[in-house]
Structure 1
């Protein structure tokens, strides 16, 4: 397996199966801006709420090949092995397919992911133990807590200023390395001081 990060904004993603497992897979897709359709004879209350809010489209029916023929990404989350395998076999080789109940089917896995604003940390055991992936993700959550959201915003702002400057590559590299020093992770005051030092640099390209 080769880990990548996908831009799925406005891409058609189909979830086959209306239970809570499918719902938990839908949320990250929606957060990433995907166009999500759920196909299932019945759906859980969480999906009903999402549909009422206009977040997803729902087809209350047994799945047919036409339901996912144009999908960029397919997540199969039913309790029927026959349905799961049929969807996988009928999908195009150019489509991304994940079968929740059988990691030997499909062509990608969904890692356990920790999100802190612009920071995303994904953990995968390549299907060997999803439970361990989740445990490691939760352990990482204690290390990389909510404070990293503001910290990443600071790093992003500093990086944009430095990259656009007329400094030499060596000078840029030095400042970028300095920006990730622990002092800036824990002190808002020090972040402001660092950004203030960059003001003359920012003025160079205005």
Structure 2
């Protein structure tokens, strides 16, 4: 499998199935800004809440090929292996397809992941053990506490200024390397000093 970070903002993602498993697939897609369409005769309480809040579209019916033929992403998450496999057989080669009942079908699977601001931690065991993937993710998450949220926002802003500044490549490389010093993660004062220093360099 080839790991990527995928921009799904504004993309149509069709999820066939309305149960707990489908719901777990939907939540991170919503957080990433995807346009979600649920196709299922029944939906769970959590999914119904999202529908009531108008966070996604729901069609209370059995899925037909026309429901997902134009989707950027298709997730088959029904409780029927036969239905899931039928959906897989009717998707197109250029669609992203995930079949929850069989990780060997489709062309991608969703890793266990967690978000700390701009930091995304994802772990996959290639289908061998989702439970182990979750454990490893939680172990990693414990190492990267909430301080990383502010730190990464600082890194984002500082990196933009450095990249756009009138400095030679060597100076830029040295500044970018300096940014990963622990003091900038732990101290807002140090982060402010660095940004002031950048401002002075570019105005000098």
Deviation at 1:83, TM superposition (A): 0.2
Q: Does 1:164 align with 2:173?
A: no
Bigger mean CA offset, 122-131 vs 169-178: 122-131
Cα RMSD, aligned residues only: 1.0
What do residues 19-63 of structure 1 show as CA deviations (whole Å, max 9, x unaligned)?
A: 111111111111111110000010011111111111100000111
Q: How many angstroms apart in 2 are the aligned matches of 1:183 and 1:114?
A: 25
What is the match of residue 155 of structure 1? 155
What is the match of residue 190 of structure 1? 190
Q: How many angstroms apart in 1 are the aligned matches of 2:185 and 2:9?
A: 30
Q: Secondary structure at the match of 1:105?
A: coil
> Any runs of at least 4 consecutive aligned residues in structure 1 with deviations exceeding 4 A, and if so which?
none
Q: How many angstroms apart in 2 are the aligned matches of 1:186 and 1:52?
A: 42
Q: How many angstroms apart in 2 are the aligned matches of 1:202 and 1:17?
A: 55
Structure 2: 5+ residue runs without aligned partners?
none
Q: How many angstroms apart in 2 are the aligned matches of 1:172 and 1:117?
A: 25
What is the match of residue 111 of structure 2? 111
What do residues 148-189 of structure 1 show as CA deviations (whole Å, max 9, x unaligned)?
A: 111101111111111110111110010011011011111111
Structure 1: 5+ residue runs without aligned partners?
none
Matches within 5 A, 1:60-71: 60-71=60-71
Count residues in correspondence.
204
- TM-score, structure 1 length as denominator? 0.96
